[in-house]
């Protein structure tokens, strides 16, 4: 048998269910990899090794009992995972990536952790996030930055950056993330993974500090479409069958990855709702990734054509108002506010100064933006964009900070919050409008800057589908060889 971390998540699931591996063996293997590699990678904030070993032993006991009774095992029996440190896990502190919060153990599991524990997973700990999940990079003041396994000088993206780094480095077989403006798709693209953002309402919402525009949804990060589909099946409440028109009733998302999708009309677009506020130029490698994606899709039999999408230029201000509203109401003791990063502190102050009427106006605009954008997208089955406009950025690039070691001391963070935010919007200009529209989308790692898989840095494409198309998106990703 291959090394445990070299198995796909589907293969590991099968080995655990067949008894070829015990949950304790799998847990100990991944914990050993975390111990060896996390000091250089910064993927984890908290490792809960003792509890994980107890939970794995309990899973093995359950398997022994059910082997005698013939009772079915949970769908993800014994599978190691970790949760982004915005998600409550009972008995473990939820830091939200912030030095301004006291570290108190969560009293109960959040919705996502509860759903996956019920599916049989063993939690190994909490992964690195930016403060309150606000940024497209996973750096904060409480732990070393999350680094890209393909180049440790580069960021793993955000806000699910620790989870993406852990999966890409083989510290986990797959991981759940949450996505409010690209926070699954951005780190997936940076780390060479498949990252799926489901449509609004399909799975329990990813945790955030407030979400008036209903932007945030939980989704899987994985090394393949099949692995992502396996995790998505467990994330959907009640293991619901795939809704029409994604696939035949009763088919799981994993089942669909073994089937060819129908021939699709795919619109190619470089248009972004950020381009008026923050004019940007796509890196050649982003355009190369797009060209590679087009070539793969056409070779698979799909029809592609240019899609000129018109976006309302009021989007940037409205999205920013809605995106940062929650941080204004976060419960932070006044004497600890100085411990916030400059970006968080700046957007918190602005949110607190903003009137409720202004927030309501912005949310209302975003709902109209959703209707207008979806109406344009309906001319095609899927919309294709680059996943990112730039190659994965160096650690510290967004904050323009200097650092004297693994940590980012408070005194060394730059204070240009607006410059930081602008860089993020230019880095990932095709992500957030998908959250506003509530649509599903997937990031697929079709290109490497060195010319071959695993060579250089990964670059991806994004496919955006209509509501209910999660099954179709994982089908297409699998068809393209991922």
Q: Read off the pLDDT band of 241 (50, 70, 90).
A: very low
Nearest to 169 by CA among 189, 185, 154, 147: 147
Quote the CA–CA distance of 79 and 52 in Å, as a whole number.
11
Q: What number is the average pLDDT over the span 71-96? A: 97
In the chain, the number of structural domains is 1
| pLDDT number for residue 359 | 97
Give the containing element (helix H, strand E) for 353.
Answer: helix 342-353
Residue 254 lies in a domain: yes
pLDDT digit string, tens, across residues 350-360: 999 999 999 99
| pLDDT number for residue 416 | 87
Mean pLDDT over each residue of the chain, to the nearest integer: 93
| pLDDT number for residue 406 | 42
pLDDT digit string, tens, across residues 397-451: 998 754 443 444 444 555 689 999 999 999 999 999 999 999 999 999 999 999 8
Quote the CA–CA distance of 468 and 382 in Å, as a whole number.
12
Q: What number is the average pLDDT over the span 248-260? A: 87
Residue 352 lies in a domain: yes
Q: What number is the average pLDDT over the span 208-215? A: 83
Residue 81 lies in a domain: no
| Strand partners of residue 386 | 461
149 within 8 A of 191, measured Cβ to Cβ = yes
| pLDDT number for residue 96 | 96
Residue 439 lies in a domain: yes
- Do the strands 122-127 and 151-155 form a parallel or antiparallel pair, or are they unpaired? unpaired
Q: What number is the average pLDDT over the span 289-307? A: 98
| pLDDT number for residue 293 | 98
Q: Read off the pLDDT band of 251 (50, 70, 90).
A: confident
| pLDDT number for residue 76 | 98
pTM of the model: 0.95
| pLDDT number for residue 323 | 95
pLDDT digit string, tens, across residues 20-75: 999 999 999 999 999 999 999 999 999 999 999 999 999 999 999 987 787 899 99
Residue 179, pLDDT > 90, answer yes
Which structural domain range is residue 293 located in?
130-479
Residue 22 lies in a domain: no
Q: What number is the average pLDDT over the span 378-388? A: 98
Radius of gyration of the chain (CA): 21
| Strand partners of residue 444 | 461
Give the containing element (helix H, strand E) for 218.
Answer: strand 217-222
| pLDDT number for residue 407 | 40
Residue 413 lies in a domain: yes
Quote the CA–CA distance of 48 and 103 in Å, as a whole number.
15
What CATH number corresponds to the domain at position 217? 3.90.1300.10
Residue 236 lies in a domain: yes
Q: What number is the average pLDDT over the span 189-216? A: 88
| pLDDT number for residue 385 | 98
| pLDDT number for residue 222 | 99
440 within 8 A of 243, measured Cβ to Cβ = no
Residue 247, pLDDT > 60, answer no
Residue 412 lies in a domain: yes
Q: What number is the average pLDDT over the span 84-97? A: 97
| pLDDT number for residue 408 | 45
| pLDDT number for residue 210 | 79
| pLDDT number for residue 185 | 98
pLDDT digit string, tens, across residues 94-137: 999 999 999 999 999 999 999 999 999 999 999 999 999 999 99
Higher pLDDT residue, 303 or 402?
A: 303
Instruction: Please list the active-site residues.
Output: 84, 159, 183
Nearest to 231 by CA among 205, 260, 196: 196
């Amino acid at each position: 048998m291959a090394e445990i971390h070299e198995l796909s998540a589907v293969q590991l699931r099968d080995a655990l269910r067949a008894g070829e591996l015990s949950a304790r063996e799998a847990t100990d293997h991944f914990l050993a990899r975390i111990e060896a590699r996390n000091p250089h990678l910064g993927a984890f904030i908290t490792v809960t090794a003792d509890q994980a070993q107890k939970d794995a032993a309990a899973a093995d006991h359950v398997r022994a009992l059910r082997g005698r009774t013939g009772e079915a095992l949970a769908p993800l029996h014994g599978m190691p995972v970790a949760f982004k440190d915005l998600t409550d896990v009972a008995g473990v502190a939820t830091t939200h990536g912030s030095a301004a919060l006291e570290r108190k153990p969560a009293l109960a599991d959040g919705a996502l952790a509860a759903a996956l524990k019920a599916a049989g997973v063993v939690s190994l700990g909490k992964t690195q996030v930016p403060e309150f999940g606000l940024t497209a990079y996973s750096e904060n003041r409480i732990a070393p930055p999350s680094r890209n396994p393909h180049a440790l000088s580069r960021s793993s993206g955000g806000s699910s950056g620790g989870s993406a780094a852990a999966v890409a480095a083989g510290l986990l077989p797959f991981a759940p993330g949450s996505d409010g403006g690209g926070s699954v798709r951005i780190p997936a693209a940076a780390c060479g993974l498949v990252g799926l953002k489901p449509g609004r309402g399909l799975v329990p919402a990813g945790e955030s500090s407030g979400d008036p525009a209903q932007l945030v949804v939980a989704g899987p990060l994985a090394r393949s479409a099949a692995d992502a589909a396996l995790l998505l099946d467990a994330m959907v409440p009640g293991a619901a069958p795939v809704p029409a028109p994604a696939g035949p009733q009763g088919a799981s998302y994993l089942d669909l990855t073994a089937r060819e999708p129908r021939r699709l009309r795919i619109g190619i677009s470089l248009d972004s709702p950020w381009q008026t506020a923050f004019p940007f130029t796509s890196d050649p490698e982003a355009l190369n990734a797009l060209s590679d994606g087009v070539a793969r899709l056409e070779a698979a039999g799909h029809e592609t054509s240019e899609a000129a999408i018109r976006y309302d230029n009021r989007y940037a201000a409205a999205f920013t108002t809605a995106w940062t509203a929650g941080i204004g109401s976060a419960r932070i003791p006044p004497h600890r506010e100085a411990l916030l990063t400059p970006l968080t502190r700046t957007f918190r102050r602005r949110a607190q100064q903003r009137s409720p009427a202004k927030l309501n106006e912005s949310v209302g605009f975003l709902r109209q933006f959703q209707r207008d954008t979806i109406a344009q997208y309906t001319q095609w089955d899927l919309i294709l964009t680059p996943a990112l406009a730039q190659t994965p950025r160096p650690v510290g690039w967004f904050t323009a900070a200097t650092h004297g070691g693994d940590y980012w001391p408070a005194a060394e963070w730059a204070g240009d919050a607006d410059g930081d935010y602008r860089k993020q919007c230019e880095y990932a200009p095709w992500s957030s409008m998908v959250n506003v529209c509530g649509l599903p989308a997937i990031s697929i790692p079709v290109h490497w800057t060195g010319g071959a898989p695993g060579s250089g840095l990964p670059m991806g494409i994004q496919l955006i589908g209509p509501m209910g198309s999660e099954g179709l998106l994982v089908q297409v990703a699998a068809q393209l060889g991922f």
